[in-house]
Structure 1
Amino acid sequence: MNPHPRIALIGECMIELQHRADGSLQQSFGGDTLNTAVYLRRELGASSTVDYVTALGDDRFSDAMCQQWATEGLGLDRVQRLPGRLPGLYCIQTDAQGERKFLYWRNEAAVRDCFTTPGAEPVLAALPTYDVLYFSGITLAILGEVGRVRLLAALVEARQRGARVVFDNNYRARLWASVEAAREAYQQVLALVDMALLTEDDERALFGYADSEQVLAAYPGIEEVVLKRGADDCLIRCGGERFAVPARVVEQVVDTTAAGDSFSAAYLASRLRGGSPQEAALAGHRLASQVIQVSGALIPRG
């Protein structure tokens, strides 16, 4: 295993507005693969290269995103800046019972053309040179059909060169024209995945699986399958063996945002350092338990 892996995470970061009780809005940034990228970089430290692959506009919000990512040590060479375009935006509203509602403005986001612009050619050519490629179901949705085809071609070449493909299923029904379209896209990608980091609730929503056993049985060709189940044990199938690793007990959960993203980051980091699946899951639970005790996706750096 490469002691200094080069990792590319592909996806979208958005402008986040949090609607407060007094009517004001608190602005930050958020996105599933971006959260994972930041936590992965923190976990691995200087022993690796972690690049983020996306497209942004030429506005001040996009400038601020890049500045924040650079501060976290992420590589920005694969970030396209498209003139006249903007990032997507979403707003979080919380009701009296603490339930959160998300409102999205992302149809014209720059990232939707991430793999269709002339500037995408060198990015796509570079993807197969990485040791690890990581993306999510949200990545698949926002890239659109043409972008997905080009991503799939890059994944095929990357695996031929010895890269590992890691996929987090993050299924969001609102991003797809139909559940059938989503299933087709997922099935095409899952045939090229080496490590699947799956949330059980998303698997049930997308494919209708009844329980954990059906999920694990659905992917016999994937080398390493990790089934995230919230506060319950995570289940792992790797190398012909099965493991169940208990989650950490957290007395007071403040915010579950990025719980799964942070678990995935710590799990992958541990495996890249040579840790066993059990050790990796414990690392994932450790980081996720810290994240859910703090408001927001990214906890302050210690």
Structure 2
Amino acid sequence: MLQTSYHRMTDTAATTSSFEHLTALSARLREANPPVVTSIGECMVEVVPLSASTAKLGYAGDTYNFAHYLRLLLKHRSAHIRFATALGTDFDSHQLRAAWEQRGIGTDYIMHDPERTVGLYVARNKPDGSKAYLFYRDTSAARRFFTLPTSPALIEKIVEESTAIYSSAITLAVLEHSQGRERLVDLYRCARESGRVTIFDTNFRPRLWNNDTTEAELWLRKIIPFVDILLPTDEDLSLIFEVTDTETLLARCREYGALAVILKCGAKGCRIAEGSHSVIVPTTPLQHELLDTTAAGDAFNAAIIAGLTQGNSPLTAAHMANRVAAVVLQHPGALIPESATTSLLRAFEAPSW
């Protein structure tokens, strides 16, 4: 195993220069005119019970949450944020598409499957702020995204037109049949070979893999070699690899071919790693009570990519991402209310060291 040197964050030339791959990716994103970031996955109707007889309806999904927060954080920059998925032809599907367009999310890469609809989930708060979920997604059109008749042409278009491509292990898990998963892996391979920036979150939901960590690890082994920026959590990797030591987790990511890893470590902050070098970026203390962990990781990912797109160093982008995640943790639901947008954008301001 490689020995890993790590430091606590100081934004010096020495530590910044250690992340050559991330710095090069930042330049590629910054120089695109305009950058086109495509997020691939599923968005569902969200039901949040407010009492025994009332509930709030919304919509969310890990890869959509990423696109939503990236659009908010880059609102003052000419950037195209697109969401790639499949919907039905029903009322809810059309409502979702209209809502995304209203929020400035590009819908160029959406297919419609008349035999399917959108998924739905019920989210209940636990006392610690985490969530318990109940999913209804068997008839979700997004599960067929890579196996519809029009899929091959759209996949080719996504690779050709995108500057960066983002997806997750949740997307991998929900795709129907191994053919769909193989096509997502192949999209990443083609994108990487074409010079696109490839980004992947290891979001691990045991139920989606029938509690089979071996199957999940198999597919991670297939896709990670084509990923530029891997965005796991220590909790996810510990479940998949069945080890808890951070050094071992990072070593396993390197073994699978990861060039740059930004490991989210909850209250401990995050850790940026390239090769044998890593830096710990401490978290930001919460201003108020932790209300809901939903989408905090997705917002963190969006802030990392937004920060790099603006030309910030990896360390600065990680610091900004910690602060953005802290804002999201203090609001209920996956998507914070519009009234909290100012706080989010203030958190995203680059620090003066």
Among 136, 140, 143, which residue is 1:105 paired with? 136
The aligned residue for residue 326 of structure 2 is 289
One-letter amino acid of the counterpart of residue 44, structure 1: L
How many equivalent residue pairs?
A: 302
For residues 51-108 of structure 1, the C-alpha deviation after alignment (integer angstroms, 9 at most, x for no partner) is 1010111112111211121122111010111114211111123467766321111122
Q: How does 1:178-217 map to 2 (within 5 A)?
A: 178-217=212-251
- Alignment CA distance shift 1:245-1:191 (3 Å): same
State the secondary structure of the residue aligned to 2:231: strand
Displacement, 1:187?
0.9
* Structure 1: runs of 5 or more not aligned: none
One-letter amino acid of the counterpart of residue 278, structure 2: R
Q: Is the 8 A contact 1:262 1:287 kept in 2?
A: yes
Displacement, 1:222?
1.9
Task: Tell me whether 1:122 sits opposite 2:156 in the alignment.
Answer: no
Q: Is the 8 A contact 2:83 2:107 kept in 1?
A: yes
The aligned residue for residue 57 of structure 1 is 88
Displacement, 1:162?
0.4
For residues 166 and 293 of structure 1, what CA distance do their matches in structure 2 show? 26
* Structure 2: runs of 5 or more not aligned: 1-27, 343-353
- Alignment CA distance shift 1:96-1:182 (3 Å): closer
For residues 96 and 216 of structure 1, what CA distance do their matches in structure 2 show? 31
For residues 228-266 of structure 1, the C-alpha deviation after alignment (integer angstroms, 9 at most, x for no partner) is 011113111137532111111014111111110000000
Q: How does 1:70-109 map to 2 (within 5 A)?
A: 70-94=101-125, 100-109=131-140
State the secondary structure of the residue aligned to 1:47: coil
For residues 56 and 11 of structure 1, what CA distance do their matches in structure 2 show? 11
For residues 139 and 195 of structure 1, what CA distance do their matches in structure 2 show? 17
One-letter amino acid of the counterpart of residue 152, structure 1: V
Among 279, 283, 286, which residue is 2:316 paired with? 279
For residues 109-130 of structure 1, the C-alpha deviation after alignment (integer angstroms, 9 at most, x for no partner) is 1111111111212211112221
- Alignment CA distance shift 1:96-1:286 (3 Å): closer
Deviates more, 1:239-248 or 1:150-159: 239-248
Among 151, 155, 167, which residue is 1:135 paired with? 167
For residues 102 and 124 of structure 2, what CA distance do their matches in structure 1 show? 29
TM-score (norm 1): 0.95
Larger RCO, structures 1/2 (Cα 8 Å, 6+ apart): 2
In angstroms, what is the RMSD of aligned CA positions?
Answer: 1.7
- Alignment CA distance shift 1:153-1:96 (3 Å): closer
State the secondary structure of the residue aligned to 1:255: coil
Among 148, 162, 169, which residue is 2:195 paired with? 162
One-letter amino acid of the counterpart of residue 259, structure 2: E
For residues 22 and 139 of structure 1, what CA distance do their matches in structure 2 show? 32
